[in-house]
Amino acid sequence: MAAGTSGHRQRIGIFGGTFDPVHVGHLVAALEARQALQLDRVLLVVAGDPWQKTDLRPVTPAEDRFAVVAATVEGIDGLEASRLEIDRSGPSYTADTVRQLAAAHPGAELFLVVGDDVAAELSTWQRVEEVVGAVTLVIVQRGGVSPVPDPVGWAVRRVGIPALEISSSDLRERLATGRNVHFLVPEAAIRCIVSRNLYASGR
């Protein structure tokens, strides 16, 4: 039954991140979560102001990161780029995103998709208590990595993915120094990165 028809509760995945840049590991996680949990769609929510990172390193402008994610997911069934956190002023807090999506989609089931590294740091989030009861937490577990314990108080589901040792920081360095990123970054993303002259050496 199609999403939004009578008797069907939408199942929406929320996969937030800086996506600086997006890579194939992100896509694998989003698609595996969608299939395993029968989600109608997974939103790749691009952080407008990723407050936990901006004090640590320069972050590529949000509009550029969104453009790359949008180009990447175009034509991929069930994956959508979301600019909710870009269009909202101030730091990007998941609590605000969850509240906004719940208001926009009454009755929908919300699934917050996170990596095991993020799952271990949920206690550092702002107003995390507002998120706990509003979503099902989906922990993406990479093969060969010891699972983190279920965070206390959350409804938790786990989704396994192959062990993909890909990091956005390594990709930024590769792009800055002209090294190969093919098959690590989707081709559509690479084309968008080149067209916008992102991550070039000296940028």
Work out the average pLDDT over 121-141.
95
Looking at the predicted structure, is the pLDDT value of residue 177 above 90?
Answer: yes
57 Cβ contact partners less than 8 Å away, ≥ 6 residues apart:
none
pLDDT of residue 203: 41
pLDDT of residue 161: 94
Enter the DSSP assignment of 181. -
* Structure confidence at residue 6 as a pLDDT band (50, 70, 90): low
* Structure confidence at residue 143 as a pLDDT band (50, 70, 90): confident
122 SS3 class? helix
- Of 125, 140, 130, 141, the closest CA to residue 92 belongs to 125
pTM score: 0.92
pLDDT of residue 139: 97
Enter the tokens of residue 162. 């192959």
- Of 98, 74, 72, 75, the closest CA to residue 16 belongs to 98
Work out the average pLDDT over 52-81.
93
| C-alpha–C-alpha distance, residues 157 and 177, integer Å | 39
- Of 31, 60, 28, the closest CA to residue 166 belongs to 28
Enter the DSSP assignment of 73. H
| C-alpha–C-alpha distance, residues 138 and 131, integer Å | 13
Enter the DSSP assignment of 124. G
Q: Please give the share of the chain, as a percent, with pLDDT higher than 90.
A: 83
Residue type, 52: Q
pLDDT of residue 97: 98
Strands (E), the chain: 11-17, 41-46, 79-82, 109-115, 136-142, 155-161
In this structure, CATH architecture of domain 11-195: 3-Layer(aba) Sandwich (3.40)
pLDDT in tens, 27-38: 999 999 999 999
Mean pLDDT over the full length of the chain: 93
